[in-house]
Copies of this chain bind each other. A is one copy, B any other.
Amino acid sequence: MRTSIATVCLSGTLTDKLHACADAGFDGVEIMDADLTVSYESPEEIRALCRRLGLSIDLFQPFRDFEGVSEELLAENLHRAEAKFALMNRLGAETILVCSNAGTATIDDDATAAAQLGRLADLAAEYGIRIAYEALAWGRYVNDYRHAWRLVQMADRPNLGTCLDSFHILARGHDPAEIEDIDGEKIFFLQLADAPQLDMDVLSWSRHHRLFPGEGSFDLSSFLTHVLKAGYTGPLSLEVFNDTFRQTDVTGTAAHARRSLTWLADRASAANDWSTDRLPAAQTPRSVDFVEITGSDLGQADETLNQLGFTFRGKHRTKQVRLWTMGSTRIILNEQSQQPEPHLSAIGLLVDDAGQALARGAALGAPVVFRRTYAGDHELKALGAPDGTVIYWNDAPAEDTWVSEFHGGQPAVDSSHAVDHINLSYRWHEFEETVLFFHSVLGLDAQAPENVPSPQGLVRSQVMRTHDGTVRLPLNLAPPTAPLPPRHIAVTCTDIVGLAQSAHERGLHFLRIPENYYADVQARFGLGAEHLATLRELNLLYDRDEAGEFIHFYTPSIGGLFIEMVQRVGTYDGYGAANAPVRLAAQRRRPHPHPTSR
């Protein structure tokens, strides 16, 4: 399908926006009247630039507050419209969006509104222009798409049709199934926006909180299906008013926007078994294959992993890279870095078909990452996530493939340890793009967000996970003024007390938990004195719900990350969210001086 985007979604000047839309691969744009008004380029220049960039001008918008008015105001409105039609002729735009009157309507009468829309259409016809009439969710008399469609039918002009906007329809809870009753040729335009489920006035929700498809709560795949079944053949166009996207880098945001449409078109096609717009199937990860930590000196990581009981599996035969494992948890330490601070640089995932996973990600606009391999090295497929973290896919057991590239370590010790979750932190303006990436490229689903208090503000936490919980990525959104919290790798075990004791004996410095925390645990859970003493002595944290228990501890940070060991008892399915404020407060303290010997 053809794709389009409203220039209001993006930051910058109109020409900045047009270049970014073309770079991202959009076929066309909706030009916002206000963006043209503040632009120094003439309509003819914008028209020529769009032509050179290969962008069609699919819509000029919006034209507000037209119908349902007195004859006197109608004359003014027709004057206003005619000036815009003349401008559109210069611009080369053929369709204008007319929103239902939200400001000046005084006559609540369908016959009047339809007659006035008819006069507008007749005037537009003189300029060769089509009117796409849309019901705003907060229109004074017309705020339901079915009502707008009735008025279009009543006016009955060839150049008058309707525009459907997913936000205005789904935010009001109107049933989109009735879209199929509309004549598809009379759906002159389709605007798509997602949104989080918020309980607030619909105007503020629409103006500030819209999201690109796949980032919110709306079922846009079903919505789009109804529109396509009605016979709509125009472009899928994004109209997303969002305070963040309006100020983020225009090129990155346009690419992010384009990815959302690719994902949505595939989702709708897949749901309907259509053959067009299909992507390679999502390869939902079966487990975490490995996690890679990169830094110029990872001696402290070696020491911590050893203290936790990881097994050293050797050095890579050609690279400055080491492997540690614990059960199916594989941590690669990579010292081939220009960036000295240790950081979580890559995540490897086990999937059924790595080639398909790569092809899907690439089709969704993610950059393919080249991994330098030597003769005999296993070739892993890889893509870059929006923040630069590399995602690798493997479709064969690690022990049979890339693990054999490591030499000189000890044999694997069988155990039940596995990666429980990988906690990733982001800046406020990276968050939505990351959610869309993990959802569309990796096939993970977003859980409901939570807010976690920290000494430097609220941290928003949203878990992305596979349905079965095998792969879980809690994402943390840092407050704007706070430093990014460290990321972490959580590893499961079945005897956390024994493991913590051993680690303690091997000299591990645990993240020290305040005494007051244990008084609170005791108040909330009424644990036995001995159990509580063990938790306190070993700096273990505790949570419990109807399903089971969660016991965990943290290592101090190694650069920008740390390790968490967790034990799940019963079917506990959370992450100890009640303990996160304790961790965030504890991590803000100056870390222990860490003596290392080489």
Seed contacts A39-B516, A84-B523; 5 additional CB < 8 Å A-B pairs: A12-B456, A40-B589, A80-B524, A200-B204, A243-B479
Is A398 at the interface (CB under 8 A from chain B)?
no
Known interface pairs A247-B480, A522-B83; A455-B12 also in contact (CB < 8 Å): yes
For A195-207 the 0/1 string (1 means CB < 8 A from B) is: 0001111001001
Nearest-Cβ distance from residue A326 to partner chain B, whole angstroms:
30
What are 16 A-to-B residue pairs whose CB atoms are below 8 Å? A13-B588, A38-B455, A38-B581, A39-B516, A42-B515, A76-B526, A80-B523, A84-B523, A87-B523, A198-B204, A199-B201, A200-B201, A243-B479, A246-B457, A247-B457, A247-B481
Are A37 and B479 within 8 A (Cβ)? no
Task: Give the CA-CA distance A36 to B585 in the complex, in Å.
Answer: 11
| Nearest B residue (CB) for A199 | B201
Q: Is A458 an interface residue (CB 8 A)?
A: yes
Residues in B whose Cβ lies below 8 Å from that of A204: 198-200
Min CB–CB distance A167 → chain B (angstroms): 17
In residues 226-246 of chain A, which contact B (Cβ within 8 Å)? 243, 246
Residues of B contacting A101 in the complex (Cβ-Cβ under 8 angstroms): none
With contact pairs A83-B522, A480-B480 given, residues A514 and B247 touching in the complex (Cβ less than 8 Å)? no
Taking the closest CB of chain B, its distance from the CB of A204, in whole angstroms, is: 7
Give this chain's copy count.
2
Looking at chain A, what size class is its interface with the partner chain? Answer: 35 or more
> In the assembled complex, which residues on chain B have CB atoms less than 8 Å from the CB atom of A37?
514, 516-517, 519-520, 581-582
**Bound state CA distance, A522 and B515, in angstroms?**
71
Closest to A87 in B: B519
Closest to A245 in B: B457
Q: Which residue of B lies closest to A247 (CB)?
A: B457
**Residues of A465-498 whose CB lies within 8 A of B:** 479-482
Q: How far is the CA of A480 from the CA of B244 in the complex (A)?
A: 9
Given contacts A38-B585, A83-B523, A480-B480, contact A243 B516 (CB under 8 A): no
Question: Which residues on the B side are within 8 Å of A515 (C-beta)?
Answer: 40, 42
* A286, CB-defined interface residue at 8 Å: no
Binary CB contact string for chain A from 450 to 461 against chain B (1 if under 8 A, 0 otherwise) = 010101111000
Q: Is A269 on the interface with B (CB-CB < 8 A)?
A: no
Contacts A76-B526, A199-B200 given; indicate if A246 touches B39 (C-beta within 8 A). Answer: no
**Which residues on the B side are within 8 Å of A519 (C-beta)?**
37, 83, 87
**Contact present for B80 and A246 (CB under 8 Å):** no
Flag whether A445 is at the interface (Cβ < 8 A).
Answer: no
Among B201, B453, B585, point to the contact of A13 (Cβ < 8 A). Answer: B585
Contact with B along A578-598 (1 / 0, CB 8 A): 000110111011000000000
Asked whether A367 is an interface residue with its Cβ less than 8 Å from the other chain, the reply is: no
Given A36-B516, A38-B516, A523-B80, A246:B581 Cβ within 8 A: no
Query: Which one of A204, A481, A584 has the highest number of Cβ atoms from chain B below 10 Å of its Cβ?
Result: A481
A514 adjacent to B581 (CB under 8 Å): no
Which residues 33-92 of A have a CB within 8 angstroms of B? 33-34, 36-40, 42-43, 76, 79-80, 83-84, 87
What are the residues of chain B within 8 A of A34 when measuring CB–CB? 453, 581
- Provide the bound-state CA to CA distance between A200 and B203, in Å: 11
Q: Is A11 an interface residue (CB 8 A)?
A: yes
User: With A and B bound together, what is the CA distance between A76 and B585 in angstroms?
Assistant: 28
Interface positions, chain A 509-539, Cβ under 8 Å from B, are: 512, 514-517, 519-520, 522-524, 526
Nearest 8 pairs of A and B residues by beta carbon:
A247-B457, A83-B523, A200-B200, A199-B201, A38-B585, A37-B520, A40-B514, A246-B457
Which of chain A's residues 155-207 have a Cβ closer than 8 Å to chain B? 198-201, 204, 207
Contact of A38 among B38, B207, B582 (CB under 8 A): B582
Q: Identify which of residues 410-454 in chain A touch chain B, using a CB-to-CB cut-off of 8 Å.
A: 428-429, 451, 453
